[in-house]
Structure 1
Amino acid sequence: MSGSSHLGIDDPVCPARGRINDIIASRGEDTERAYDAWAQYFDEDMITLGYGGYDVMGKNVIKFVTNKNAKILDVGCGTGLFGEKLRSLGYMNIFGVDASDSFLEKSREKGVYLELEEHRFGNGLKLPYSDNSFDVIMAVSILGPNTINPTALYELDGLLSPGGYLMIFIRRSRLDMERENFNVKAVLDDLLTSGRWERLPDSSGLYYTQPNGVPVAEGDEAVEGDGVVVTMKKLLKH
């Protein structure tokens, strides 16, 4: 990527922050290449930055999903870290989908998903699953202006069985964003207007903690700390 040193790994302060900031700044094909290159550093970077999404979402799953045999789809499964978290909580019926070959390969190495599929949202291709396939659909930190648009939630709508849950973990700044080409609230409101969904109370969760010894500048998305869990329940009847 132009203007960066291999996804920021030579950043003298914190390479992980450099990679995150390069991902945020990337566009189009550069974003795809950036994610593929990031796969080898991703697990370590999440530890370095103190990423809290997997723990927060794990607690949310336990709160609502008592059936440990529930069929779960991890959208944007990445390297499989959340799949590992779900397995540790006793959920075994887990499927994953991601757009990056490199991330999917890391997920395969962990061996926590029953099946893994490649899919790029927003390109008109149908997801490789039939309608009403899943009891729970998880989207952990995947929605972003330069990554996956919230309109992808429309693609996921048909995959969820009535009575099931759609759970989203997102930066608060992105949940509050109301751009013409990126507006999560508008999509959620549209789903609710259909009469087929109920939005349960949101909860707050830690997104990133401050890396030890690294000062955090206001507005630095690489270490943004405020996350939100949005839980939508698909109604049995409407």
Structure 2
Amino acid sequence: MSTLAILKIDEISRYTGDDINDEYGRILGTIISVQSSVDGRVESVTIKVADRYLETIEGERIKIHDGKLVVIPNWKFEASRIIENLDRAYKRRKALDTISGQNDLPSSVVEPMKRRLEEEIKALRIKADEVKKIINGRVGEIEDEELKVAKAIATIEISYFSGEVGEKGYTQSMNHLRKLKESISEEKRNAKEYLEKLDKTIQLTFTENKEVVKPKESEENKISQVPQSNQGSLIVKIQG
């Protein structure tokens, strides 16, 4: 899982005035402006949300998909970043264990590196727990949305079958509700998948790595390790 590339102003300026969606096909608003640094890297995008207010989204959460600008949900962005960092920390710790086991470098060099990495891993664990709370919070919000959608479906169906709402109104309402139900179900499924990935990565990173690579023995060392009892033994023959 790699970090998304930061977009440049030249890549997305043509989308100004267009709608912007999230990864689940929901329209978030209209792109009003794009803020970038002097090197052209997109720092943030300002969108107008349903003619009500402006919202600023970090440039790192923006990507181009199928010719459209798409916003990565905050929980997914944070989860992807922490999973990547934990995976990198795990690989670095394995590398340090290998170096330490081979005795190629003095401990005065390796040990400070180990201590620094362990401190960084501890900080990542705290961040990982925070991200898990964010994802679980979003799952809770989605479940509330699912309940609201179910109630809306029940209400429109009652109105339709009782003759209070016509065919056109019923069809249009049900199309909107079905689309919303699908999008929030997909996000919920995706959020749970990322929770599982995060838990597995945490477990892997914080499992004690007991395998230490031992240095190879030279032929000279093997010879020197021959038991003394077999070296220079004296045989005495006793004649009767």
TM-score range relative to shorter protein: under 0.3
Q: Which has the higher strand share?
A: 1
Per the normalisation by structure 1, the TM-score is: 0.20
Q: Could you say which structure has the higher helix fraction? A: 2
- TM-score normalised by structure 2 residue count: 0.19
